[in-house]
Each structure stands twice: as C-alpha cells, then as structure tokens.
C-alpha cells in the first residue's frame, strides 16, 4: 500500500507541476513607459523611482484543490483529495535612494485525505526574506540578511528551465555586487539556515556579455562541503533561446555500487564529477492567435550516474519488493541514491495557450532517463476560467521495465482534476 501511495503521489505531483502557461500581455500590462513630471525642488526622476513616502505592504495568495485517482497493477486505486492554501505578505520600505528594507513571510496550510476524515493537517508559517539594501557611492551594492539567491550559486539542478522556481529560499547571506559596464561581479557569503557555527560559504561569480550572448563563471567553497566550479552561457538565435550550465565537483557524497562476484559493495569515490545541462526554448504565435505555442527541450548529464544500470536496478527492485538488496555492506544503503541514478536525461515541455483561439489551453511534459529507458509522461487541459477560478484535468503515466528509475514495479497512471484560485492584494 505504501509503494502504491508513493508512486501515485509522484505521478500526481509531476502532473500538477506542468500545467503552466502565461500571457506576455498580462505580464506587462498596457503601459510599459511612465512619464515623470519634474518639479522644482523635487528629487531627480531616477531617485524618485527609488523613494517612497510610506511603507508599502502587499502580498499574494493561491489555493489549489486536486482530486486524483490512480490506476495501478491493472486496477483503479483509491481516490485521493489534496488541497493547499499559500499566502505571502511583504513590507517594502525605501525612505532613501541609497537604502531599502524588505521583509516577506509565507503561510501555508495543507490538507490531504482519501475522501475520509482528514488524516494530515499542516499549518506552517515562515519568514522567507528579511534584508536591507545599501551601497557605497553608487559603485558597490550590498544586500545583507535572509534573501533569495540563484540556485546555480552552489549547484545546478537537472531541469532548471522546466522549474518555475529558480531561486533558493531564505538563505542568510551577504551579497556584494560591483557592476562595470555590461559586466557584473558578485561575491556571496552564505550561512545556510542561519548556522553560523558551521562556517561561511563563499561563492564568487562573474557575468559578462559578448554580443547578445551572456557568460558567467563562478565557484563555491565551504569547509564542510565539496568545492565546485560553475559556468553558464545563454543566448538566442531568432526566436530560439539557448542555455547551458556546467558544474565540476571535487568528490561525491554518494555511495557507489561496485560488483563483487554475484553481489555488490557500496564504496566511496574521489575525483572530479561533472554535471552539465543544455537546452533550448522556442515560442510561436500566429497573427490570428490560433497557434500560441511554446516549448522547452533540455538535456542533463549526470557524472555521478551509472554507466551500467543493472546494479542499481537490482537494488531498487529488491527494496520495492521489501527484500534484502544484494549488497555486502547493506548498512551503507543510506548513501546509495535511487533517484538520479542515470547518466543521461532528457526532458521536454510543450504548451498550447488558447487552443485555436478558444479559452482552452493544453500542455504535455515528458521526462526520461535515457540510461535505463524509463520516464514519465503527463498532459494537462486547462478549462476556461470562471473569474479567478482556474479548473483543469489531466492524465499522467510512466514507462520502463520494473526496477528502472521511473518504471517502479510496472505501468501506472493517474487521472486528476484540479481547481486553483490566485490573486494579489
């Protein structure tokens, strides 16, 4: 039952995370340029944009309701219901062109039940950001406090372009920014989760532009973590955008399976490991608005993955069947990573906004582990909105042999219906 529930939740989460699309007109609104009147004795226009007479407060909210029914091992599973309410509030104070204070807090309430009295209720409130901005003679800029930092400061994730959240939340940090022409130089001093006693991580980063191509180089060092070097590039050719990232890590926190006769031993490995990702994005919209398409394709190379998938496949299948895995030092199984075990991955997303000019939108998402020929497929149909209510229905499934990363114990599927409400205040 637990295996069924876990696989069902994975399918539902992948499906729910792919029904996204946005309208550039809604994003920017109607007015992009604002004309400022300059009166005698008033602040210059460039400073007036940075100064506010009063404290600004606001926020956003979103409520999601998901109904899911899995199809596993040739039979329909139990229908489940999940709901989550998220709210964010912020305070923004800019009394001076050279100083800003900002705070943001989040409150979430989650409910999940199989159409029975609630089994799990979760109310959580957290301070997400609390920082101040200041500068030295408008040449060097500082941000100190709990703040968002780019995810690529310390790591690259498998599918950043397909992930709507590209930032790490709530890291205590000092950011130093020195702009020079079209180039930018950064230095981050990070204390993750506020644990100052565990040492400070240093992450320098440099960004520069050549033509319409942007490059970045950076590093990450912490005395208790593995050192890393990072590089990225982004550019475009016509309507096609390209991106790439690479990270070199000295050492690995994983345990690796090595053959020892008919069984395996979990060993540790030193030396550099490479992670790299590259992909492209394309959007097309015809003059009549009947074809409004956007797509992303991304490849990910995982240097810590296995060239031969047989060992990890046997261990994964044994654990799914609640059997003892064929390893000598099974007490180190906690260091063996069952997910992200492949060398090569490919993901793609295709969205069709306003199908043939209608109020319907559709998207499909595919994620595959090329090393073991397994993957996930999900599709979502967004129905016409009723005011702030956005309904959608979807279908997701997996493929791959039993024991592969996404194959699990066999073919599974899930049908979902969801309703979301969002807004700002």
Domain boundaries, the chain: 2-19+49-424
User: Cβ neighbours of residue 334 under 8 Å, at least 6 residues apart?
Assistant: none
Pick the CATH number of 2-19+49-424 from 3.30.1110.20, 2.40.160.10, 3.40.50.2000, 3.65.10.10: 2.40.160.10
Check pLDDT > 80 for residue 193. Answer: no
Indicate the range of 60-74, 186-200, 222-236 predicted with least confidence.
186-200
Check pLDDT > 90 for residue 124. Answer: no
In the numeric block, which tokens belong to residue 303? Answer: 């240097």
pLDDT of residue 316: 93
* Residue 133 or residue 334, greater confidence: 133
Check pLDDT > 80 for residue 214. Answer: yes
Mean per-residue pLDDT for 355-371? 95
Check pLDDT > 70 for residue 354. Answer: yes
When pLDDT is cut at 50, 70 and 90, the band that residue 72 belongs to is confident
Check pLDDT > 90 for residue 349. Answer: yes
Cα–Cα distance list, 423 to 89, 272, 291, 324, 388 (Å): 12, 46, 27, 50, 7
Indicate the range of 160-174, 199-213, 311-325 predicted with least confidence.
160-174
Check pLDDT > 60 for residue 20. Answer: no
Phi, psi of 155 (to 5 degrees): -160, 160
Model confidence, pTM = 0.81
* Residue 19 or residue 351, greater confidence: 351
Rounded Cα gap, residues 153 and 146, in angstroms: 15
User: DSSP letter string over 120-148?
Assistant: EEEEEEEEEEEEEEEEETTTEEEEEEEEE
Element (H, E) at 240: strand 240-250
What proportion of the chain, given as a percentage, has pLDDT over 70?
A: 80
pLDDT of residue 3: 37
Mean per-residue pLDDT for 83-90? 94
In the numeric block, which tokens belong to residue 296? Answer: 């992303």
The dihedral through the CA atoms of 242, 247, 14, 389 has a sign that is: negative
pLDDT of residue 113: 66
* Residue 117 or residue 216, greater confidence: 216
Cα–Cα distance list, 346 to 35, 159, 219, 296, 358 (Å): 47, 9, 26, 11, 31
In the numeric block, which tokens belong to residue 178? Answer: 């020195």
Q: Are 188 and 147 in contact (CB under 8 A)?
A: no
Phi, psi of 184 (to 5 degrees): -135, 140
- 201-210's contacts with Cβ under 8 Å and 24+ in sequence apart are 201/154, 201/225, 203/153, 203/154, 205/153, 205/230, 207/183, 208/182, 208/183, 208/184, 209/182, 209/183
Check pLDDT > 70 for residue 62. Answer: yes
Check pLDDT > 60 for residue 164. Answer: no
* Residue 12 or residue 178, greater confidence: 178
Check pLDDT > 90 for residue 102. Answer: yes
**DSSP β-bridge partners for residue 182:** none
Count CA within 13 A, CB hemisphere, residue 408: 22
When pLDDT is cut at 50, 70 and 90, the band that residue 149 belongs to is confident
When pLDDT is cut at 50, 70 and 90, the band that residue 118 belongs to is low
- State the chain's mean pLDDT as an integer: 83
**Residue 39: how many other CB atoms lie within 10 Å:** 6
What proportion of the chain, given as a percentage, has pLDDT over 90?
A: 60
pLDDT in tens, 31-59: 333 344 445 555 555 555 556 667 899 99
When pLDDT is cut at 50, 70 and 90, the band that residue 167 belongs to is very low
When pLDDT is cut at 50, 70 and 90, the band that residue 9 belongs to is very low
Mean per-residue pLDDT for 396-416? 93
Element (H, E) at 13: helix 2-16
When pLDDT is cut at 50, 70 and 90, the band that residue 119 belongs to is low
pLDDT of residue 122: 80
pLDDT of residue 36: 41
When pLDDT is cut at 50, 70 and 90, the band that residue 294 belongs to is very high
Mean per-residue pLDDT for 253-276? 93
Q: Are 63 and 422 in contact (CB under 8 A)?
A: yes
User: Which has the closest alpha carbon to 371: 313, 297, 327?
Assistant: 313
pLDDT of residue 419: 95
Check pLDDT > 60 for residue 290. Answer: yes
């Amino acid at each position: 039952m637990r295996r069924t529930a876990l696989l069902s939740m994975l399918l539902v989460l992948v499906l729910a995370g792919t029904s996204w699309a946005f309208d550039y007109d809604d994003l920017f609104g109607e007015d992009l340029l604002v004309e400022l009147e300059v009166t005698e004795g008033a602040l210059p226009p460039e400073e007036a944009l940075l100064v506010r007479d009063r404290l600004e407060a606001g926020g956003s909210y979103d409520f999601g309701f998901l109904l899911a029914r899995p199809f596993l091992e040739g039979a329909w599973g139990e229908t489940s219901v999940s709901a989550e309410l998220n709210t964010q509030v912020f305070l923004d104070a800019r009394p001076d062109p050279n100083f800003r204070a900002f705070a943001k807090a989040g409150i979430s309430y989650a409910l999940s039940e199989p159409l029975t009295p609630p089994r799990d209720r979760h109310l959580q409130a957290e301070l997400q950001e609390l920082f101040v901005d200041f500068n030295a003679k408008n040449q060097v800029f500082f941000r100190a406090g709990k703040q968002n930092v780019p995810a690529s400061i310390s790591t690259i994730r498998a599918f950043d372009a397909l992930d709507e959240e590209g930032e790490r939340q709530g890291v205590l940090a000092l950011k130093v920014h020195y702009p020079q022409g079209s180039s930018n130089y950064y230095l981050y001093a990070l204390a993750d989760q506020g644990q100052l006693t565990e040492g400070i991580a240093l992450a320098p980063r440099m960004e520069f532009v050549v033509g319409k191509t942007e490059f970045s180089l950076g590093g990450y060092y912490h005395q208790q973590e593995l050192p890393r070097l990072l590089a990225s590039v982004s550019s475009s050719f016509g309507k096609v955008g390209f991106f790439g990232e690479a990270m070199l890590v000295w050492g690995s926190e994983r345990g690796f399976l090595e053959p020892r006769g008919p069984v395996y031993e979990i060993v540790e490995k030193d030396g550099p490991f490479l992670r790299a990702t590259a992909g492209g994005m394309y959007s097309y919209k015809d003059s009549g608005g009947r074809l409004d398409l956007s797509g992303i394709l991304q490849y990910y190379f995982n240097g810590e993955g296995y060239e031969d998938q047989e060992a990890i496949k046997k261990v994964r299948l044994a654990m799914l069947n609640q059997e003892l895995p064929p390893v000598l030092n099974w007490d180190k199984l906690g260091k063996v990573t069952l997910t992200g075990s492949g060398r090569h991955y490919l993901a793609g997303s295709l969205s069709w906004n306003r199908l043939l000019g209608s109020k319907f939108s559709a998207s499909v998402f595919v994620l595959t582990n090329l090393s073991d020929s397994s993957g996930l497929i999900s599709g979502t149909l967004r129905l016409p909105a009723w005011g702030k209510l956005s309904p959608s229905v979807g279908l997701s499934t997996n493929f791959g042999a039993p024991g592969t990363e996404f194959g699990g114990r066999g073919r599974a599927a899930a049908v979902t219906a969801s309703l979301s409400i969002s807004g700002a205040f």
